[in-house]
Amino acid sequence: SKLKETLTKTRNNFVSKVTELVTVHKKIDEEFYEELEDILLQADVGVAAACHLLDEIRSEVKQRKISEAADVRDLLEEKMLELLGEQASLEINTALPAVILVVGVNGVGKTTTIGKLAYRMCQQGKDVLLVAADTFRAAAIEQLEIWSERTGSEIIKHMAGSDPAAVVFDALQAAKKRGIDVVIIDTAGRLHTKTNLMEELRKIERVVTREIPEAPHEVLLVIDAATGQNALRQAELFKEATKVTGIALAKLDGTAKGGIVLAISEELGIPVKLVGTGEGMEDLRDFDSHEFVSALFT
Ligand code: GDP
């Protein structure tokens, strides 16, 4: 499957090493656990999730009287699946228009993710409106325009430098008037002026809720799978400012550190809802824990 291809680097860096470890290391001793922990950390599973998984494995090994290292591979797969749990999918079957606010640091793949999402929804026959609320960069507005043309979505934009909340207000008015199905709001991601950005996002969220009380239906935080533990710190920042309801994990195809999915689950408690599997318009999929773990292990 395509997800299997996407996870090739992660599989080579992670599950292949586990397979090698359980083959070389027939006995389950302290050294075995230490090496397993190293492999988990190198795949960016993170300290918390790695400890969690190892604790679970140790206790199962005792309980089930497992003595063959080879059986630990299956145990790891089982425990990873348990840790990820059933993940929620995108919440867009709401009263119209559904509003998706997209946040994230510049360069993580935010615009591309918005474009892919718009493409998917247009393909489903939905009327999509893109909102260029990253007014800080003229290039961001231009990029969004390109995606609007490519996907056949409408766009609302103001001039660079204008008030992002005002663009959002106009867009929601237009969406209600035109009977738009899905509104996707692009936001700024400049981190060097952190406080201002977070205030800006809060203001946008307030405007959305004032115009449509149950909106935003989704606040999607886009993070770059390749940035590893750094992505978690970004997530903490955005969580403080907005009600993040889901993670879109971009660039999963380019990284050997796909273990970040487990770190997100363990440390953030926000479901991964979408994964980016390439630069193309169709390279976006709903995240499915079973599919993810099975693509890694088989
Ligand atoms: P933004 O600044 O967050 O809006 O980032 P962009 O959407 O402009 O993306 C930055 C770069 O990452 C671009 O070159 C994209 O083509 C690339 N990109 C985005 N998502 C993915 C993905 O899932 N896989 C790959 N391989 N590249 C991606």
Would the CB of 215 count as within 6 Å of ligand 1? no
pLDDT on residue 194? 65
Q: Is 197 helix (H, G, I), strand (E, B) or coil?
A: helix
Rounded mean pLDDT of the chain?
94
8 Å CB contact between 259 and 12: no
Would the CB of 6 count as within 6 Å of ligand 1? no
| DSSP tag of 87 | P
How far is the centre of ligand 1, averaged over its atoms, from the C-alpha of 55 (Å)?
36
Could you give the angle at which helices 70-84 and 260-267 cross, rounded to 10 degrees?
50
**Ligand 1: which of 187, 279, 283 to mutate, judged by most atoms within 8 Å of the beta carbon?**
279
- The pLDDT tens digits of the residues spanning 76-98 come to 999 999 999 988 888 777 778 99
User: What is the position in ligand 1's atom list of the atom closest to the CA of 140?
Assistant: 4
245: its two tokens: 């309801």
Q: Give the sign of the dihedral formed by CA 206, CA 210, CA 211, CA 217.
A: positive
Give the residue whose CA is nearest to atom 20 of ligand 1: 109
Residue 58 CA to residue 39 CA, distance in Å, equals 16
- The pLDDT tens digits of the residues spanning 167-212 come to 999 999 999 999 999 999 999 998 877 678 999 999 999 999 999 9
End-to-end CA distance of the chain: 11
pLDDT on residue 92? 78
